[in-house]
């Protein structure tokens, strides 16, 4: 029974890792697209443009972290 409990625990941990991977990819993609739209529709160096640029950087970071978490395992 101990081996069964270990297998269930391994499966649960893996499912949690996959959920985190998907969340990072989806949220990073949404932030990236939103940031690109805001930056494109705003005047350069205005406050909305800076916010859009920050969103782009956060989106790229989320995508990179999500992909790296899967490459690492």
pTM of the predicted model as reported, rounded to 2 decimal places: 0.76
Distance separating alpha carbons of residues 56 and 58, to the nearest angstrom: 5
Contact (CB, 8 A) for 21 and 69 = yes
Look at residue 6 and tell me whether its pLDDT is greater than 90: no
Look at residue 42 and tell me whether its pLDDT is greater than 80: yes
Structural domains of the chain, count: 1
What is the average per-residue pLDDT within 30-58?
96
What is the average per-residue pLDDT within 45-70?
94
Full residue range of the structural domain in which residue 34 is found: 2-72
């Amino acid at each position: 029974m101990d081996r069964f409990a270990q297998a269930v625990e391994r499966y649960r941990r893996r499912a949690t890792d996959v959920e985190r991977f998907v969340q990072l990819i989806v949220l990073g993609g949404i932030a990236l697209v939103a940031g690109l739209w805001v930056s494109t529709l705003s005047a350069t160096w205005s406050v909305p443009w800076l916010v859009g640029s920050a969103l782009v950087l956060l989106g790229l970071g989320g995508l990179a972290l999500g992909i790296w978490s899967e490459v690492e395992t």
